[in-house]
Chains A and B, each alone.
Chain A
């Protein structure tokens, strides 16, 4: 049985100039595996992830035929039930740590908040767990980071804090939105191996949103390719680099090649039928 089953998901924002459809009928299944989502900027990756947590803010609206997480239909769950799932069973690594961490709260307080508030742990015990989580994501001076404010962290450091924060409650489903974009290669490899370990050993389900097609091809099991709120192609990750769909090919052609020519990156060709409507 799959961990998450999404059928015909739509996210619509009502704006002054009429409704904007950010996600238009996305369906997918997720087992205890690594599912990549790629697509150009604005294609609806983040909104798809947030819709699973039912955290689209007004004026955005979520519609779906079915959204089953571990036997429970999220589209029919009460707000209270959703709150019990969030952070504990489903977590989401937010895209940009610069804006996603509370600027006036110490990193430590944000890390331990879930443990203190939800799990009712004491201050010392919560701090110990948070320190361990920071060490796990390769932060060498966790004590100092705990006492820092977000603006005192570099981008990569903030990203690791965000990952640590979301892994602390040991979720069954992790939605990671560009989790490693600001990390250097060695740290990235380390973080990916942690995520990989959680999928293999604990059977966590992972939705891995990324711009980096090469990384997704290497790291994920399956990939959804999104364009304008739709999934235009779903494929096995290792076939990604050889994809035939013109949009996916376009994305691949946009990848800079090491040692490649310095010619300007080609734009996406949007002449096919897939690009219409």
Chain B
């Protein structure tokens, strides 16, 4: 009659699922590499020519071609490409001649910092707003949350960014302008500090450089606020609908029958269930901020991955564009996997 499972069996199943997830991850990434590889071969930009220049002799051209491995059969080229990529070698930038992975390592933390802060804002504001709206459907609070959310949906990010800069930077001078720091502080950061993570807020805090920290904060607050607003709009709407659904379930009445106070019914009983689908929503919105930040980065002159890929595109630096694309793909797949694991952690039914 009892059908309870003991813990070892449960965690074994969990491990098996993670292994399965990793396999999916590997296959997805291989597919991504296949796509970028062929794009690299198909685009009408001759990688050899862009290295040796227009006036190279035939011998020089041929030597460079061999150096790039382009004389090998296609499948061999792909094999080398994958092996290199796995070891973190995404090729060399045509523009700068530097390894692409190193350049991305410098640009990516800026994007990560911005998107992470935006997501944190989105969650901290969006989840309580959604819960508030769900517990008082039709109330003024519900209307306000819905209206503010709708605005976040319908207003283009670049427009918000421009207006924000105009008002809070140009007019009121409350925030720092474009870029991650004022130029003075940029020098300080470059020359007198250990850069542990590349995320300026964290690095300056670790160095105890609070003045630079404050300046960085004044720069990031506007773009992160705008991204946070967009993410909040999505998260609050989804939280509201998940919460409404849970509050209609029978186990909620059971908790009330037990005399539990309303805050506990909502924030413990219902929230634990809301977390299950909400994790996916948060991961999706995080991925969206990480990848979709091109416009924000352009407007705020934010030296992140979006800016890097845009610049590479404009200078026809194909290896850099493809390298950036691979990183974006890896980020997306990793986030997906992380949300999948978290989802299984909060939902016991998904574990068996």
Q: B residues bordering A, Cβ < 8 Å?
A: 1-7, 248-251, 253-261, 264, 269, 272-273, 276, 346-349, 352
Interface residues as binary, A62-103 with B (CB distance below 8 Å gives 1, 0 otherwise): 000000000000000000000111111001101010011111
Contact A55 B257 (CB under 8 A): yes
Residue from the list A141, A149, A162, A165 in contact with B348, Cβ < 8 A: A149
* A105: Cβ under 8 A from any B Cβ: yes
B325 to chain A, nearest CB (A): 38
* A211: Cβ under 8 A from any B Cβ: no
Chain B residues, CB < 8 A from A162 = 254
* A117: Cβ under 8 A from any B Cβ: yes
| Chain A 25-84 interface residues, beta-carbon cutoff 8 Å to B | 50, 53, 55, 57, 83-84
A103/B349 contact (C-beta < 8 A), A113-B258, A166-B257 known: yes
A92/B272 contact (C-beta < 8 A), A147-B7, A149-B349, A153-B3 known: no
A154/B258 contact (C-beta < 8 A), A96-B250, A105-B269 known: no
Contact A104 B6 (CB under 8 A): no
* A250: Cβ under 8 A from any B Cβ: no
Q: Which 4 A-B pairs have the closest CB atoms?
A: A87-B259, A86-B259, A148-B4, A87-B258
Please name the residue on chain B nearest to A85 by beta carbon. B259
Tell which of B4, B259, B272 has the most Cβ of chain A within 10 Å.
B259
Chain A residues, CB < 8 A from B255 = 102, 113
A72 to chain B, nearest CB (A): 15
Residue from the list A87, A101, A104, A153 in contact with B347, Cβ < 8 A: A104
A87 to B253 CA separation, bound complex (whole angstroms): 12
Contact B260 A144 (CB under 8 A): no
Contact B347 A50 (CB under 8 A): no
Interface size class of A (residues with CB under 8 A): 35 or more
Contact B272 A104 (CB under 8 A): yes
Chain A residues, CB < 8 A from B3 = 152-154, 157
Residue from the list A86, A100, A141, A148 in contact with B250, Cβ < 8 A: A100
| Chain A 123-149 interface residues, beta-carbon cutoff 8 Å to B | 140-141, 144-145, 147-149
Contact A117 B4 (CB under 8 A): no
Contact B260 A94 (CB under 8 A): no
A-B contact count (CB 8 A): 100
Chain A residues, CB < 8 A from B272 = 102, 104-105
Contact B254 A101 (CB under 8 A): yes
A149 to B346 CA separation, bound complex (whole angstroms): 12
Residue from the list B249, B264, B349 in contact with A151, Cβ < 8 A: B349
Chain B residues, CB < 8 A from A144 = 2, 4, 6
Chain B residues, CB < 8 A from A85 = 259
A256 to B273 CA separation, bound complex (whole angstroms): 40
Contact A154 B251 (CB under 8 A): no
Chain B residues, CB < 8 A from A91 = 257-258
Interface residues as binary, A104-117 with B (CB distance below 8 Å gives 1, 0 otherwise): 11000000011001
Contact A156 B260 (CB under 8 A): no
A94 to B256 CA separation, bound complex (whole angstroms): 11
Contact B348 A104 (CB under 8 A): yes
Residue from the list A100, A117, A149, A153 in contact with B260, Cβ < 8 A: A117
Residue from the list B1, B254, B264, B347 in contact with A156, Cβ < 8 A: B1
Contact A102 B254 (CB under 8 A): yes
A96 to B254 CA separation, bound complex (whole angstroms): 11
A157 to B4 CA separation, bound complex (whole angstroms): 10
Residue from the list A83, A101, A141 in contact with B261, Cβ < 8 A: A83
A-B contact list, 21 entries, CB within 8 Å: A55-B256, A83-B259, A91-B257, A100-B250, A102-B251, A103-B251, A104-B272, A104-B348, A105-B272, A113-B258, A117-B264, A141-B2, A144-B6, A145-B2, A147-B7, A149-B348, A152-B4, A152-B5, A152-B348, A162-B254, A166-B257
Residue from the list A50, A104, A166 in contact with B276, Cβ < 8 A: A104
A102/B269 contact (C-beta < 8 A), A144-B2, A147-B7, A152-B4 known: yes
Chain A residues, CB < 8 A from B6 = 144
Residue from the list A103, A151, A166 in contact with B273, Cβ < 8 A: A103
A222 to B4 CA separation, bound complex (whole angstroms): 39
